[in-house]
Amino acid sequence: MTKPRLTLEEHQQLGLRLAAIRDELLHLGTDLMNAYPRSGPEAVPARKLTAAREAVDQARCELDNLMFQEHPQQ
């Protein structure tokens, strides 16, 4: 049995939520980079937030691709 796909509206809402998460990760990472050294053990949290932001960016990109495949007319 095939799983249901997201509607166009659900894709758009998910995209907005992921964009907000990405922005929050960016702001938190910037705060940490301004407060702690950019190398060594104290830089690990900021690097982890950067990796999380990049993962969200990749997920958004892949979801955009799925949206265009599933809803080509829109």
The alpha carbon of 27 is separated from its chain's Cα centroid by a whole number of angstroms, namely 13
State if pTM tops 0.85.
yes
Dist. CA 23–CA 12, nearest whole Å: 17
Note the pLDDT of residue 40. Answer: 96
Is the sign of the CA dihedral 39, 43, 47, 48 positive or negative? Answer: positive
Ranges of the chain with pLDDT below 70? none
- Residue identified by tokens 């894709």 is 11
Note the pLDDT of residue 74. Answer: 82
Dist. CA 57–CA 41, nearest whole Å: 25
